[in-house]
């Protein structure tokens, strides 16, 4: 049952840049309209976010604390960022990416979404995810718009790869169904992996059919909230090769290496000739 809808001033735009946060490749369910208002849904709750006069505003009926946790607003990212040591290029990335926050996404949604992300671009990933939700999620109406929740692992475990053909997800379909079955059947306990270390969590996810290093690390960082994880895709690999010493080890970035990764990824993708 929906609670009372409210509008709240969430934080400053220095604390969270909603464009950078939603467009840095970590999530696929937030989209801006022509006025720059982002609409999305997390943990089954729809919301709208926008900025005015240097402040971020949110409209929803979910408990306000849910959104503060989702956007990780209790953590001081500015202080964390000042602690990174990786040379001049990393400093450029940090300055360019200020305002990005690592979303604390629902574990199953993050895992499934990054399975879909394999060898894919963001526009196409978003399309597949939205079709998946429209077909197998639950409809939620909010402020005159229709949203769909992310389907549960239980729901998707009941399907076959052929059932997912309308998604046009290609070879990823059996991986989605297989992962859903593992999560539902207890082969992988995502909640338990939140409370283990990031290396052990990644090791467990790598046991799943079709899960490689990059997808596992993304799920560990964005879904299990282990900020030490450092996913390496084509953009990160290129940046490391061109702008860091050959022996550079991302582990030296410490317990928030995943935040540094997002700064590097966002800067590298936004400035491909740099």
For residue range 76-133, list pLDDT tens digits in order.
999 999 999 888 999 999 999 999 999 999 999 999 999 999 989 999 999 999 999 9
CA contacts within 13 A on the Cβ side of 213: 6
The pLDDT of 51-63, averaged and rounded, is 97
pLDDT band at 260 (very low <50, low <70, confident <90, very high): very high
What percentage of the chain reaches a pLDDT higher than 90? 95
- Three-state SS at 252: helix
pLDDT at 102: 98
Which residues are paired to 140 by β-bridges?
147
Question: What number is the average pLDDT over the span 220-249?
Answer: 95
Question: Is 1's pLDDT higher than 70?
Answer: no
pLDDT of residue 274: 73
pLDDT score of 272: 80
How is residue 76 written in tokens?
């001081």
Catalytic residue flag (residue 241): no
What per-residue confidence (pLDDT) applies to 242?
95
The Cα–Cα gap between 217 and 212 comes to 9
pLDDT in tens, 122-174: 999 999 999 999 999 999 999 999 999 999 999 999 999 999 999 999 999 99
- Of 126, 202, 214, 241, which is the active-site residue? 214
Q: What is the pLDDT of residue 221?
A: 98
Say how many C-beta atoms besides its own lie within 10 A of residue 85's C-beta. Answer: 11
Mean per-residue pLDDT of the chain? 95
Q: How many CB atoms sit inside 10 A of residue 236's CB?
A: 19
Look at residue 15 in the predicted model and tell me its pLDDT.
97
pLDDT for 149 equals 98
Decide if pLDDT at 69 tops 90: yes
Other beta carbons within 10 angstroms of residue 262's beta carbon come to: 25
């Amino acid at each position: 049952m929906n609670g009372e809808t409210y509008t709240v001033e969430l934080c400053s735009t220095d604390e969270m840049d909603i464009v950078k946060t939603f467009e840095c490749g970590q999530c696929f369910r937030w989209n801006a309209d022509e006025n720059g208002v982002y609409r999305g849904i997390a943990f089954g709750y729809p919301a709208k976010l926008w900025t005015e006069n240097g402040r971020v505003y949110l409209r929803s009926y979910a408990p306000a604390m849910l959104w503060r946790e989702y956007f990780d607003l209790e953590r001081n990212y500015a202080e964390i960022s000042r602690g990174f040591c990786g040379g001049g290029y990393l400093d450029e990335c940090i300055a360019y990416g200020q305002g990005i926050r690592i979303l604390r996404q629902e574990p199953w949604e993050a895992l499934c979404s990054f399975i879909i992300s394999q060898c894919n671009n963001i526009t196409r990933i978003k399309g597949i995810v939205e079709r998946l939700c429209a077909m197998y999620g639950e409809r939620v109406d909010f402020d005159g718009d229709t949203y769909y929740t992310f389907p549960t692992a239980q729901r998707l475990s009941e399907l076959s790869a052929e059932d997912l053909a309308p998604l046009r997800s290609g070879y990823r379909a059996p991986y989605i169904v297989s992962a859903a079955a593992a999560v539902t059947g207890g082969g992988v306990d995502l909640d338990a992996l939140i409370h283990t270390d990031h290396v052990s969590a990644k090791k467990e996810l790598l046991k799943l059919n079709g899960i490689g290093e990059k997808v596992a690390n993304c799920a560990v960082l964005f879904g299990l909230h282990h900020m030490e994880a450092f996913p390496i895709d084509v953009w990160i690999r290129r940046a490391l090769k061109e702008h860091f010493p050959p022996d550079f080890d991302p582990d030296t970035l410490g317990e928030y290496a995943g935040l540094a990764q997002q700064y590097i990824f966002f800067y590298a993708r936004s400035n491909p000739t740099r």
